[in-house]
Amino acid sequence: MSEVISASVHRKVKSPSRFRFPAPDIVTLASVVVLVTFLSAWEWVLIPLLNISPALLPKPSAIAIALWSGLFVGDLGTDILITLQEVFLGYVLGSAIGFALAIPVAGSRVAERILYPYIVALQAIPKVAIAPLFVIWFGFGMTSKVVIVALITFFPVFVNAVIGLRATPAEQDELFDVYNASAWRRFRYLRLPNSAPYIFGGLNVGVTLSVIGAIVAEFVGAQEGIGSAIIRAGFALDTAGVFAAIAVLTFIAATASAAIQAIGRKLVFWMENPKG
């Protein structure tokens, strides 16, 4: 029994430079205090003292009211649903295509030489610059947004999946040689699990990019969505409304990213994570 050693414990004890954080509830409390202090200073010190016009910078309370009325009186709820749909569909599509294309590219040098230049060229095109084209091609509706989100999500997932699918250690391959493993089983039992940590890295980068992609696409041309809500509020000089929409966007991106990380930790449980 004494032979059971948790490998992760070892490594952490050895770094003397590393600051050891106090219990997490105190940390949480401290970060809440920071937030409350920041918002209070904004509300009761910054705005009254400098006499800033609400059209330039509204008080946090005004933003909260704008958020509340947007959700329960205005159309912000519908806009959120639309944007969430665009992000979700585009993200799933982009990730799936990224992963699917990574398989041949990672598996064969020939496929890599044929496909890689085009994929890199595709990535070199600034997606924001071609967003108007997609609106022309696919209209003002959801399709153009989904396509742009997919395009923007595709690359990080693709690149990471290629690296991950090639990350199988040589000695694991030799083990599978001993059993005369078929290409499919090698993929299923070796390449795929070895690539999972990398793929989740790509998915995590992709998730924040996908929210940006959806908003940019909506800026270019849309009647609905959070991006279009920001444009509408901006034109109306409803600065509090703009801030409210930004707050919602931040919340969506942060939540989605946290969800992907949580799923990643669950599925890729064998990798050491830096937590605790």
Partner 1 sequence: MEQLESFIEIKKASKKFVTRSGDHVTALTDVNLSIDKGKFITLVGPSGCGKSTLLRMVGGLIQRSSGSVSIGGAEIEAPTAGIGMVFQSPVLLPWRTVRQNVTVAADIGGANRREVDERATKFLDMVGLNGFEDKYPSELSGGMQQRVGITRALVHDPEVLLMDEPFAALDAMTKDKLQVELQSLWMTSRKTVIFVTHSIQEAVFLADRVIVLAPRPGRVVDDITIELPRPRTLEMINSREFGDYTSAVRKHFEAEGLVQ
Q: Which is nearer to partner 1, 127 or 191 (CB)?
A: 191
Q: How far is the CB of 198 from partner 1 (least distance, A)?
A: 14
- The least CB distance from residue 260 to partner 1, in Å, is 19
CB closer to partner 1, 38 vs 173: 173
Q: How far apart are CA 60 and CA 117, in angstroms?
A: 48
In the complex, the smallest distance separating the C-beta of residue 5 from partner 1, rounded to whole angstroms, is: 5
Residue 9 C-beta: closest distance to partner 1, Å: 11
Start-to-end C-alpha separation, the chain: 25
d(CA 86, CA 117): 28
**153, burial (CB in 10 Å: exposed 0-12, middle 13-18, buried 19+):** buried
Nearer to partner 1, 235 or 269 (CB): 269
Q: Are 239 and 56 in contact (CB under 8 A)?
A: yes
CA pseudo-torsion sign 234, 239, 241, 243: positive
Residues 43 and 61: beta-carbon distance below 8 Å: yes
Quote the least distance from Cβ 3 to partner 1, whole Å.
4
> For residues 8 and 37, which CB has a smaller minimum distance to partner 1 in the complex?
8
* Pick 196 or 222: Cβ nearer partner 1: 196
Contacting positions for partner 1 (CB under 8 A): 3-8, 169, 171-172, 174-182, 185-186, 189-190, 193, 269-271
